[in-house]
Structure 1
């Protein structure tokens, strides 16, 4: 018998036989366990500052020894620059490396971190916030002031010793810098122009459902305070808006549901090359969990009135940016 070969049919069969490649990009970092994303855009590069989970699979608590830095120019290929700072950088510090954020001002990079303070004449221990400084987003970073910026004794509204964590820093258009932070309640203070001294009294507020992990930023004429909130059984993300970085704040509701396989979730929000991105962490990598977390990123969209559409967490993540 003679067979007529249908080239189109052969192509279809060949395509069908090719294994389907996964298009999943979340989590975006897969070679180490990362948490508490803090994005920064500088010179067309997006830098991502993260906590670093090193706990064993059987561990029942956090083990976080340093802060890592990653970078990308296309939201797909991420360069791991390794650890750039640790609590050992600070002579007064002890314990783990909790959530942090790096911001740029006048060509200097200020890295605000949360860790614990050694017992001393200054502090009886407890969580504390420090600030390191560098001339490059990749460091080397050094302790900017040789002491903690915030110690536990400076805030008195909560009885527990770990309420001074998770700093977020924002520099407004007029040059005034603000730092928000807290666990159990949200605290905020102005910073002086040198970015290493508080300017005035510490203020307290209790946004609805607030737990920890605030993230402060501005879009157009509206200020946003985004934070980890009391979800049904695990942390979710809620947010408020205001016409001023000093409030009053109007609660806007849930921004993102709880993250899979992780009790905590932590927001980091940035506009990069014309798109808005929502960074967070989950526990979906193999052997992952609440103490072995991984950072993911999804798109974020605004309504005409400036409120934010609820973020959809996806396995696919975001598309690569054509450079």
Structure 2
């Protein structure tokens, strides 16, 4: 009888213990619904915290066209609990800029944080095509405060070998310290070296050959392989190519994110955080979402045994918490 009692008590304790295990928390997708609306994610990791930089769609429901005037910063220690730090940069922070706060990218170098952003210029003598130019703001911390680092654009319509729509900068500091800026849209991609000061080009603008490229370049490195991901076609999928050099040549590898319902744009950011690989992107699934009212999401990225990226499985649950 004592033995039966012992086993009963042990089994009961096991049941109670299993019931008391904490429930796994997930981020949910979209991350922030529509307060605020977010688009065009960029991410960086700093001191065990992931920082998310986004644009903001302000077009009212039912209207067409992008209305974008400002950029936000969010942070998380665990992929689930997010802090909205509010607007950290606006068009008005650049004396040379007129409007259109499109997709940017923030990178750490020299102990500072450099936020590269495209906007339409005020100076009509710099407008030969669509008028977009790319500048940079700098801060001592990912949360700012940010200020215009040079007082003028780095790339604009009048730059030799620029493109009709100079948007979507992606800046990387390579292993040897050399800085590269990629950008592109309307089926054309470019890269240029930047000087160590992070605000001037160093040499000519180069043309990038990447199959199906449309816009939104992003480069990350895993092992000794560089991955160039980008929006392809329009409406856009996300596709990618690989190389052993940050400047290519690029070998096409395939699709990693299919077209998105009600959002012809598809803009990704890929990062490793606390041992897991993630892809941030946007969709139009918020309560008031649409092609010009987008919201940032996140799901896992996985690689096969050959180091090739598998297609992202998009979810509404998002990703689980990490420690």
Q: What secondary structure sits across from 2:134 in the alignment?
A: strand
Correspondence for 1:289:
290
Provide the rounded CA distance (Å) in 2 between the counterparts of 1:123 and 1:149.
Answer: 14
* Alpha-carbon distance change, 187 to 313 in structure 1, aligned in 2, over 3 angstroms: same
Answer whether contact 1:45 1:73 (CA < 8 A) is retained. Answer: yes
Correspondence for 1:213:
216
Correspondence for 1:194:
197
Correspondence for 2:157:
152
Provide the rounded CA distance (Å) in 2 between the counterparts of 1:94 and 1:119.
Answer: 9
* Alpha-carbon distance change, 155 to 238 in structure 1, aligned in 2, over 3 angstroms: farther
1:119 Cα deviation after fit: 2.6
* Alpha-carbon distance change, 93 to 24 in structure 1, aligned in 2, over 3 angstroms: closer
Which runs of at least 4 in structure 1 moved beyond 3 Å after TM superposition?
A: 120-125, 155-158
Which runs of 5 or more residues in structure 2 are unaligned? 1-24
Deviations 1:135-161 (A, max 9, x none): 111111111001001111115465x4x
Answer whether contact 2:209 2:249 (CA < 8 A) is retained. Answer: no
Q: What secondary structure sits across from 1:41 in the alignment?
A: strand
Deviations 1:43-89 (A, max 9, x none): 00000000001110021100011000000001011100011111111
Answer whether contact 1:65 1:96 (CA < 8 A) is retained. Answer: yes
TM-score of the superposed pair, with normalisation by structure 2: 0.88
Whether 1:264 aligns to 2:269 is no
Provide the rounded CA distance (Å) in 2 between the counterparts of 1:112 and 1:76.
Answer: 27
Q: Show the 5 A alignment for 1:164-313.
A: 164-184=166-186, 185-230=188-233, 234-313=235-314
Q: What secondary structure sits across from 2:102 in the alignment?
A: strand
TM-score of the superposed pair, with normalisation by structure 1: 0.88
* Alpha-carbon distance change, 177 to 24 in structure 1, aligned in 2, over 3 angstroms: closer
Which runs of 5 or more residues in structure 1 are unaligned? 1-21
Provide the rounded CA distance (Å) in 2 between the counterparts of 1:36 and 1:103.
Answer: 15
1:106 Cα deviation after fit: 1.9
Q: What secondary structure sits across from 1:102 in the alignment?
A: strand
Deviations 1:16-38 (A, max 9, x none): xxxxxx97700112221100000
Correspondence for 2:20:
none
Greater alpha carbon shift after TM alignment, 303-312 vs 264-273: 303-312
Q: Show the 5 A alignment for 1:21-100.
A: 25-30=28-33, 31-100=35-104
1:194 Cα deviation after fit: 1.2
1:276 Cα deviation after fit: 0.1
Q: What secondary structure sits across from 1:153 in the alignment?
A: coil
Provide the rounded CA distance (Å) in 2 between the counterparts of 1:228 and 1:117.
Answer: 25
The total of aligned residue pairs comes to 296
Provide the rounded CA distance (Å) in 2 between the counterparts of 1:24 and 1:91.
Answer: 38
Deviations 1:210-239 (A, max 9, x none): 1111001111100111000116xx211000
Q: What secondary structure sits across from 1:29 in the alignment?
A: coil
Q: Show the 5 A alignment for 1:129-144.
A: 129-144=134-149
Answer whether contact 1:24 1:315 (CA < 8 A) is retained. Answer: no
1:206 Cα deviation after fit: 3.4
1:260 Cα deviation after fit: 2.4
Q: What secondary structure sits across from 1:316 in the alignment?
A: coil
